[in-house]
Amino acid sequence: MAKATDQTKDDKLSTAILDQKKRPNRLLIEDSLNDDNSVVALSQQKMDELQLFRGDTVTLKGKKRRETICIVLADDACPND
What pLDDT, in 10s, does the model give residues 12-69? 777 766 666 666 667 777 777 777 778 888 889 999 999 999 999 999 888 888 898 9
The pLDDT, as a whole number, for residue 56 is: 94
The pLDDT, as a whole number, for residue 18 is: 67
The pLDDT, as a whole number, for residue 3 is: 58
- The CA distance from 29 to 2, in Å, is 47
Using an 8 Å Cβ cutoff, are 56 and 72 in contact?
yes
* 78: phi then psi, degrees, rounded to nearest 5: -80, 140
**Residue 72 included in any domain:** yes
Sign of CA dihedral 65, 68, 71, 76: negative
**Residue 1 included in any domain:** no
**Residue 15 included in any domain:** no
Which range of residues forms the domain containing residue 66? 23-81
* 64: phi then psi, degrees, rounded to nearest 5: -95, 25
The pLDDT, as a whole number, for residue 65 is: 86
- The enclosing domain of 51 has a CATH number of 2.40.40.20
Q: How many domains does the chain have?
A: 1
